[in-house]
Structure 1
């Protein structure tokens, strides 16, 4: 069984918790959808209907794309697929991991609701790739709560936390200040504006407004 990179029919941002099973035998007839589901998914991989978010055919790639509800289940199925990869009929399939480890859904909060989505996306684009359009998040009554949800990919950075470049958790767009957060976000220090620790354990004396190491933000007399 081969683990392949993404193929051309997958969005650049990837598909979360999704695995592709592509038929690779030219001389044999591929399994039908129901047979694949019964033998491969429920048989070899021990999946139940409650585990699978979506199971769909991809005629362009001659494959089935299986999306799982959780990242844990996705990783568990990959381990099982590797364990039985040399056995038929699993050995007739090439497996592609469609999920991207650097995919993040970023939640951004800016108090001024009139800041344009394009400005927020441009800010994220400085340190993230494949930045999506912004989705205005609403409360249970249907009112926009001021937060925006944006999907994007972290850029690889050998010197960054966890091997990725992370956008600052606190930032300013002109006179408007904002914050952002996402799943698996490293600890962020609001004193030195660096990832890896929090304010209480920071030993750096640095102003987040002008960058000076001579004073802190509360003593800064530079224009904000």
Structure 2
């Protein structure tokens, strides 16, 4: 390790940050957004509820360099000793506004597409679990819980009225 520290302080490597291959908390995640009208700032705001976004790596395009709805982010998972692997994980499916978004990365735990819970699948999902409030016994259609913003996670408003939402030129001009 002394040899490593000396090399890292050298002139040739001073602008580089080396991380080991065994760093479990750092991941490159792929988001399938499919909506060009959701600002990247809003996506980053949503992700920051679950993990720390280091940077946007790239927007992936086809052979003509037209964006295909996929974006890569470099993120750091937050530690949570209550979880089996010691980290909090973002949901694999989520909504920002009206459309569904999909997220995946190496080492992602199993995810239920029925209730959007982590560490189980549809086959193991408790019957009638609400994905809005997380309670058992009813579905989203019958949920009586208050409105929850799917951008910031706070009660009482939706994404379209969220104070954290990136403002477009049209909304500022009017």
Superposition TM-score tier, normalisation by shorter sequence: 0.5 to 0.7
Match for residue 129 of structure 2? 206
Q: Report if aligned partners of 1:135, 1:148 keep a CA contact under 8 Å in 2.
A: yes
Which stretches in structure 1 are left out of the alignment for 5+ residues? 3-19, 24-55, 68-95
Please say if residues 117 and 134 of structure 1, whose CA atoms lie closer than 8 Å, have aligned partners that are also in contact.
no
Could you tell me how far apart the structure 1 residues matched to 2:33 and 2:26 are? 22
Map 1:9-28 → 2, pairs under 5 A: 21-23=4-6
TM-score of the aligned structures, taking structure 1 as reference length: 0.54
CA contact (8 A) 1:127 1:166 kept: yes
Counterpart residue number, 1:116: 39
Aligned-pair RMSD on alpha carbons? Answer: 3.3
Distance 1:114 1:161, change over 3 A: farther
Deviation of residue 137 (structure 1)? Answer: 0.8
So what's the TM-score if we normalise by structure 2? 0.68
Alpha-carbon deviation of 1:133?
2.7
1:185 aligns with 2:108: yes
Name the counterpart of 1:138. 61
How has the CA–CA distance of structure 1 residues 62 and 128 changed in structure 2, closer, same or farther, with 3 Å as cutoff? closer
More strand by share: 1
Cα deviations by residue, 1:164-183 (Å, 9 ceiling, x for unpaired): 00001111112232110011
**Cα distance, 1:60 vs structure 2:** 5.0
Aligned to 1:59: 10
Q: Secondary structure at the match of 1:22?
A: helix
The reply on whether 1:169 has 2:80 as its aligned counterpart is no
Q: Following the alignment from structure 2 to structure 1, what is the Cα–Cα distance between the partners of residues 22 and 82? A: 24
1:111–1:221 Cα change, 3 Å: farther
Seen in structure 2, the aligned counterparts of structure 1 residues 122 and 102 have a Cα distance that, compared at 3 Å, is: same
Q: Equivalents in 2 of 1:97, 1:210: separation in Å?
A: 39
Structure 1 residue ranges, 4+ long, deviating more than 6 angstroms after superposition = none
Larger radius of gyration: 1
Q: Structure 2: which 5+ runs fail to align? A: 148-157, 159-174
Within 5 Å, give how 1:68-87 maps onto structure 2.
none
1:101 paired residue number: 24
Counterpart position of 2:168: none
